[in-house]
A and B are shown apart, each in its own frame.
Chain A
Amino acid sequence: MRRRPDLYISYRDETAILKNNTHRVIALIIASALLILGYVADDYWILLLSASIFLTIATWGLNIVSGMAGQISLAHGFFVAVGTYTAAVVGGFSTEFPNKIIGYELDMIIWLPLAGIVAAGVGLIIAPLAVRLKGLNLALVSIGIVYIGSYILSNLKTVTGGAGLGRKTAGYTILGVNFKDGLEIGSLIFTKNQVLYYIGLLVALLLGIGVKNLLRSKIGRAYAAIRDRDIAAEAIGINLARFKASAFALSSFYAGVAGALMFSTIGAVDVERFGLLFSVTFIAIVVIGGVGTVMGPIFGSIFFGLMPGIIKFVIDHSEFIRDSIPLNAAQIERVIFGLFIVGFLMFEPRGLWGVWFRLRNYFKAWPFSY
C-alpha cells in the first residue's frame, strides 16, 4: 500500500520476500552487480567468488538443520562429500590406471540434482540418530559419522580413487554443450570458471528462495518450535521424528548440491579433504555469519571465501607485513579466522548478520534508541 508500507491486507503481502519497491530495486542492483562482476573480474577473483557461492549453498544446508531446527551436526562435510562423489561418478570419466575408477559421463542436468538427492537419502538414513539424541550427544555422534565416513570413502577406491591419489570431478557438459574450454555465446566469450560462476549463481538463487520459503512456512515454524523446546513442540502436535528427519534430509540435499559444484573449479578432489576440519569450517561460517537466517550464511561465506584474496592483496602490497610476520598467507588466514570465531562467539553471537541487524536497528529506531 503506497505511503503505508506496514499496512498489510493479507498474510501473503506480509510474508513476501520483496515487500516493496525499495527492496525490489536493491535486489535488482545486487543481481546486476553480480552478473557484471562475473564478466569483468579476473580469474582469481572469479574463483574466490565461486567458492563463496558454493560455500553459501552448503552453509544454508547446515543452517537448516542446526540454525533452524536446532540439531547440532558436525557431519555436514560428510554430506558434502557424498554429493561430490555422486556427481563425480555420474558425471565424471572412468579410468583404468592406476586404479579402476568408475564414471558415467552424464550431463550436469542429471548429476547436479542427483548429487543432492543421494546426499538427502544418506541424510535420511542417519536421521534416526537425531530423533533419539539431542544437544551435545548428537554432536558427538555426528563426529563419529565423520570418521566412519572418511574410512568408507578412503576404501571405496573405485569411487574416490583412494587416499592420496584422488580422482577427477564431474565433467563440464550442460544440456549437451561442453564448456571445458570456455563458451561462446554470440560475441561474448566465457571461460570455464565464469560459466561455473553463473551456474552457481542460478543454483544459489533457486536454493536461496528455497531456504527463505522454508523459513516463512509451516515447516520452518515447526523447526523453530523444535529448536526452542522440543517437548513443547511435540505437545502442540509437531511430529518430532518426521520434522527432524526432514530437516536432515533437506540439509543434506543442500550439502550434496554444493559438494557437486564445489570442487569442479579445481577439477580434482582427494578424500583427505573431507576430515573433521572440513565439517568444522561450516560451523564456523554459520557462527561468523549468523545463526538461523538466510543472510547469515551469505555473509559468512563471502567473508570466508574472499578472505584469502584480501590477505593476499594486503601481503602483496605491504612489505612491512611480509617482513614482520613469519607466517605464510594460508597460516595468517587460519589465525585470523580463529580469532574471528572466538571474537564473534564472545562479543556478537548473532554473527555478521547480528552486526548488520544492529546497524539496521540503529537507523530504524531513529531518533530513539529502541
Chain B
Amino acid sequence: MITMQEIFNEISKNGGLTPSRKVKEIAERFPEKIAFRNKEFGIWHQISYEEFWNQAQYVGNALKFYGVGPKDKVAVHSENRPEWIITDIGIQAIQSITVGLYPTNPSPEVKYLLGHSESKVLFAEDQEQVDKVLEVIEHLPSLSKIVYFESRGITRYDNEKLISWDEFIEIGKEEYKKDKDFVIKMQDEIKSEDTAIMIYTSGTTGPPKGSMLTHGNLEWVATQIPELSFTTGVDNPQYLSYLPLCHVFGRLVDLIIGIHTMGTINFAESIDTVQTDLAEVQPSVFPAVPRILERMHAGALVRMKDASKLKQLLFSLASKLGDITAKRRLEMGERDFIARVTNFIAQLLGFRALRKKLGLLNVDNALSGAAPISPEILRFFMSLGVPIYEGYGMTENSAIATGNRPGKVKLGTVGVAQPGVELKLADDGEILIKHPGVFKGYFKNEEATKEVIDNNGWLYTGDVGEYDGEFLKIVDRKKDIIITSGGKNVSPSEIENNVKTSPYIREAIVIGDDRKFLSVLIGIEFDIVSNWALRKNIPHTTYRNLSENENVQELIWKEIQKANERTSSLSIRKFRMITKELDHEDGDMTATQKVKRNVLMEKFSDLIEDMYK
C-alpha cells in the first residue's frame, strides 16, 4: 500500500486534482481501497473506491437523463452519509454544481435556498426533508426531481417528482451502459474557473449568500495538502465524518483532504452516537468545532466527579503532570525530554484510558476551527497529550488562511499563515487574505461580492485581528466589537469563551455596547447542571425550572467570577439566565450553532434592560 509520504511526494510533484478526478484516479490505481464505512445497526459496512467511483458515474448519468447539464445546480439536503459524497462527486464530474443544505434548515429556508440557487434536482435524505420541500414545491418551478435516500414513510407519497435512490441509480446504470465514457468525457472538459460547489453561508444578518468555489479553488487547496497545518502523517488515515458536509470545514476535511490522502471516511450512525462512534473509529484526524471540544471537556470533568476517591486522586495527579507536559511543549517544543517523561506517567495514570474513551487515542492531528475557542480548552487537550491546533479560515477563502502547526503553537492565536497565503491587516485592523483559493464571488449578488473582494484580489474577511508578522490573533467579528459608554473597546467573543470554559455554561452572550458596564446572558449546560443539582439534592424539572433556581444562579455567578479573575479585559458585573434552549429552528442560532447576536438582543431585550435599570 502507498505510504503518506509517497502520497505527499506525488501531490508536491503533480499538484492536486479536483476531487472528482482524484476519485477516478484512486479507483483505477487502488480499486480495493476502502473509501467509506457506514455504520448500520452496529456494523460498519465498507464501500471501496471502485464502488464509489462507479456509483458516482451512475449519479452523473442519471442526472443527464433528467436534463441536468453543465452549470446547473443540484442540491443535497441530508445528514452526512456515503450517498452525500457519492452524489457530490457525481454532480461535480458532469460539470454541474452542488448546493448543500443543512439538515436543520426549516421549510422556509429550504424554499429560499432551492429558489435562489435555481436547483434542478434535489437529493433529500428521508421523509423529514422530503416533507419540507413538498410544503413549498409550488414556489420552486425549476425543481424537476426529488431523489430520496431512505424510503421509510415515503412509499405512499403521490408525487411524480419523487424517486428513490435505488431507482435513480438503476436509471444511471442503464444510461451508463449506453455511453460508458459520458462522465469521463464531461470530467475531462472541466476548466479550473468553473464553479464546482456553492456553499450558502448562514449570515447572522440578512438572507444566506451562496459562495461559489471553483474547481481551481479546490485544486489549489489540494495542492497545499502536504504543507497544510491540519493534515496527518499517518498511513492509511481514518476520518470520522460528522461535521456537516454542507459547511466548508466538513467539506474541506472529508472531500478534499480525506480523498487526497486516500483515506477512509467513516460515517457516524447518527448525531447522538458520535461519541461512541469516535471511540470505535479512533480517527487519525479529528476536526472539531469548539462546541464539541467544550462538551468533551465538560463531560470528562463531570464524570470524573462521580469517580471513586482513588481514581480522582490519580486523575488529579495525572492532570498536574499533564499541565507540565503542555507547558513544556509550548515553551520548549514537541520533543522536550521532561515533557515526554511527565506525559508518559500521566498516560499510565489514566490519560491513555481517557483518550481511548474520547476516541482521541490515534489522533495525529486534532484541529479546532469555525469559531473561536478558549485557550483553557486547548490546554486541557494538550495536557492529555492530544496534538491539537487551532486554525482559521472561512467559506470565502476555501477555509484556508492560518493555523497553528506542530512546533509552531501560540495559544490564543490562530497560528501562522498557511503555505501560499498572503496576509495583511487593513488600516482599521480588518484581516485581508489573498491566495488562489479565494472564491469566485457570491451567486447572483455582484454587490456583496464587490464588498468583500477588491480589485487586487484581496479578500476582506470581516474579522479584526492583531498580526505580529508571524502569529495572527483574532479580536472579533468587526461588527460585533463592543464599545462601552466609557469608550473602551471590548471583544465579546474572547470574554464569552472565557466564561464558556466553565462546564456548567453552554451559551454566553456578552452585552455592553454603549453601556456603562459589561453584562452577560447565560444559557446553562442542562445535563451537567442537572447532574450537579442532583448531587446537591436540588429538585428540578425542566430547563427553565433549573435555570431559574436560586442555587443554580449562585453557582453560575461563582463561575462568572472565576472567569473574571482570569481575564485581562473588563469584568462582568451582572448576568441573567436565558430560560430556553437556543436552537436553529427558532432562529436563535445559525445552522452551525453560532448565536445570532442581534436576534437574541431583541428577543431578550427585557432581560437586558432589567440589568441596566
Contacts and interface: CB of A to CB of B under 8 A. Distances in A.
Contacts of A367: 304, 307, 311, 314-315, 318, 349-351, 353-354
B174 to A, nearest CB: 31
A8 B304 CA distance: 29
Interface string A327-370: 00000000000000000000000000000000000000011111
B308 interface: yes
Contacts of A11: 43
Contacts of A369: 303, 306-308, 311
Contacts of B314: 367
Nearest to B353: A366
Interface in B1-57: 37, 42-46
Contacts of B350: 366-367
B35 to A, nearest CB: 14
A206 interface: no
Interface residues of A, number: 14
A368 B357 CA distance: 10
A4 B282 contact: yes
A369 B302 CA distance: 11
A370 B306 CA distance: 8
A3 B236 CA distance: 12
A9 interface: yes
B43 A8 contact: yes
Contacts of A10: 43
B472 interface: no
A42 interface: no
A143 B465 CA distance: 84
B42 A8 contact: yes
Instruction: Please indicate which of the listed interface residues B45, B311, B314 has the most CB atoms of chain A within 10 Å of its own CB.
Output: B311
A319 interface: no
Contacts of B44: 7-9
Interface string B44-76: 111000000000000000000000000000000
B37 A9 contact: yes
A7 B349 CA distance: 25
Q: How large is the interface on B (under 10, 10 to 19, 20 to 34, 35 or more residues)?
A: 20 to 34
A27 B224 CA distance: 49
B306 A4 contact: no
B341 to A, nearest CB: 20
Instruction: Please indicate which of the listed interface residues A6, A9, A366 has the most CB atoms of chain B within 10 Å of its own CB.
Output: A366
A64 to B, nearest CB: 26
B36 to A, nearest CB: 12
Given A368-B311, A369-B307, A9 B45 contact: yes
Contacts of B193: none
Task: Please classify the interface of chain A as helix (H, G, I), strand (E, B), loop, or mixed, using the class held by over half of its residues.
Answer: loop
A8 B353 CA distance: 20
Given A9-B37, A9-B46, A366 B311 contact: yes
A8 B266 CA distance: 12
Nearest to B311: A367
Nearest to B349: A367
A14 interface: yes
A74 to B, nearest CB: 39
Interface in A1-42: 3-4, 6-11, 14
A3 B306 contact: no
A368 B42 contact: no
A6 B306 contact: no
Contact of B279 (A3, A6, A9): A6
Contacts of B315: 367
A216 to B, nearest CB: 14
Interface string B437-464: 0000000000000000000000000000
A367 B362 CA distance: 18
Contacts of B311: 366-369
A11 B44 CA distance: 9
Interface in B310-357: 311, 314-315, 318, 349-351, 353-354, 357
Contacts of A368: 303-304, 306-307, 311, 354, 357
B238 interface: yes
A172 B303 CA distance: 60
A370 B303 contact: yes
A3 B357 contact: no
B150 interface: no
Nearest to B362: A3
B282 to A, nearest CB: 5
Contacts of A6: 279-280
A31 B467 CA distance: 66
A4 B307 contact: no
Nearest to A367: B350
A8 to B, nearest CB: 6
A169 B580 CA distance: 78
Contacts of B318: 367
Contacts of A8: 42-44
Nearest to A368: B303
B506 to A, nearest CB: 22
A58 B225 CA distance: 64
B198 interface: no
Interface of A: 3-4, 6-11, 14, 366-370
| 4 A-B pairs closest in CB distance | A367-B350, A369-B307, A366-B353, A6-B280
24 contacts: A3-B282, A3-B362, A4-B281, A4-B282, A6-B280, A7-B44, A8-B42, A8-B43, A9-B43, A9-B45, A9-B46, A10-B43, A11-B43, A14-B43, A367-B311, A367-B314, A367-B315, A367-B349, A367-B353, A368-B303, A368-B306, A368-B307, A368-B354, A369-B303
Given A4-B280, A367-B350, A368-B307, 18 more contacts: A3-B282, A4-B238, A7-B280, A7-B281, A7-B282, A8-B44, A9-B43, A11-B43, A14-B42, A14-B43, A367-B307, A367-B315, A367-B349, A367-B354, A368-B303, A368-B306, A369-B303, A369-B306
